[in-house]
Chains A and B, each alone.
Chain A
Amino acid sequence: MEASDALLVARLAAGDDHALAEVYDACAASVYAVALRVVREVSAAQDVVQEVFVQLWTGPERYDAAAAPLRTYLMVLARSRALDAVRADARRAARQERHHRLSADAPPPPPDDEVAAREAARLVREAVRALPDDQRRLVELAYFQGNSYREAAAALGVPEGTAKSRLRAALASLERLLDHTLLESS
């Protein structure tokens, strides 16, 4: 633990805006670098930096000085926020793609969006393939074939509770796998 970090965060909690400026001056470059590596776009990276410092200022008590240096905490926060932004973009792109497929006279999506959506779909397919068989089958039934988890449980002959917990485990694994993949590719 850095004593100065604990003091800075105590000052933030006391409403000392000078402390916020000090933390920004010391950590913003690292936070911005992490954000930019993940989102790969200057404007989106700036949004991430803003979110990170607003979160620190409005909830400094969430930082535990015993757990990690303040800079590390902010970088982890930046990575998490940046991945959220990437996922949101991917979801938006997927929605747009679905919408365009359903609307015959709709103009084709911009090439960048199409590439992003295809890339997101590829990453998701790869991640699903890496799941254990019992989880992969459930994800395919529930998410690719449009079944409810009850219908998926019946199709596989497992109790609903088991299907539910397997799906939860599968989604957690997918999140981890996708985070890892996105970071590697960034």
Chain B
Amino acid sequence: MSAPTGPTALPEGLRARVLERSLGRRPAGRATPEPPEITPVEALGRAARSMTTLLGELTEDQWRRTALRGLDVQGLVGHLIGVESDLQRVLAGDAHPSILDHIGSTQPAAEGQAGRPGRATQDAWTEAVTESIRALAAADPQARITLHGARLSVSELCIARTFELWTHENDIRGALGLAATQPDASTLTLMTRLATDLLVRVVSRSGIAGQDRPLTLRLVLTGPGGGTWQLTSGEPAAAPASAFTTTAVGIVADAVQFCRLVANRTTPAALEAHVTGDPGAAEAVLRMATTLALD
């Protein structure tokens, strides 16, 4: 949008007053309209119910379709049964080294489903995920546990698992030629918050390729569940954007597409992000987002 030409001069100080009054009415960083707040356990429950609904509609033939990493739909749900088992062992205090490996530790459960009726696999997973949710709801939300090499609070783990169920549901939908789903705005809000928190931890720990100085990044995620965050490499936490700080790089992307990026289901090039500032630094940050592998 270009500024119009015209003789009307704006009064001095009006800009500052307008911006100050606006931010006094609604702080920067938070999306509007704000969706109802839900707990991470509720978000996980919603993702589980959505997956259960999909699985309940599958024919035996559809259970055999190839879905991901050489696994058919049944094998992928078997992988989830393995994840539920690992999670419950970790929550019970069993920190066996094999639980460090997300794929390896769940492979027996994935392969063990072969030859069973799809309904039996569905029932086994539904029972397992119900038990996982019960155990997570009973745990201290701030307690930190390590599952598959990632150390997260119980609350963060619930949201990471919400990512996982949503992503695998859409893996199955993709294999069957069904339209992808997106989480509701309340769930998506938790997902984008976790993704940006984890991203800043990675950026803080590793720095940004090609940058020898701390870099301030403004990440704007649009649509329901979005928000605006300020990330500075070398600082330990993401913060909601504060008013009118200068930034070196700006990235604007759709919140759902960004969640697909951090779930490693799309690429930075396919994200259709609107970038301002140093494009190399923006690309490096988006590449780092794909390594979060929230799937």
Contacts and interface: CB of A to CB of B under 8 A. Distances in A.
Interface of A: 2, 4-5, 7-8, 10-11, 13-30, 32-33, 36, 42, 46, 49-50, 53-54, 57-61, 70-71
A7 B19 CA distance: 19
Contacts of A16: 28, 218, 220, 228, 241, 252
Nearest to B222: A10
Contact of B221 (A2, A14, A71): A14
B23 interface: yes
Contacts, number: 123
B78 interface: no
A54 B21 contact: yes
Contact of B25 (A23, A42, A57): A57
A111 B17 CA distance: 32
Interface in B154-208: none
A53 B8 contact: no
B11 interface: yes
Contact of A17 (B8, B21, B31, B241): B241
A50 B17 contact: yes
A32 B10 contact: yes
Contacts of A36: 8
A30 B218 CA distance: 29
A21 B228 CA distance: 15
Nearest to A43: B11
A53 B2 CA distance: 18
B216 to A, nearest CB: 12
A8 B222 CA distance: 10
14 contacts: A14-B227, A15-B29, A16-B228, A17-B23, A18-B244, A23-B1, A28-B14, A30-B4, A46-B17, A53-B18, A54-B18, A57-B22, A58-B25, A71-B1
A53 B22 contact: yes
A4 B1 contact: yes
Contacts of B27: 15
Contacts of A25: 3, 15
Given A15-B29, A29-B6, 7 more contacts: A11-B228, A21-B15, A24-B15, A27-B1, A28-B10, A33-B6, A33-B8
B82 interface: no
B99 to A, nearest CB: 38
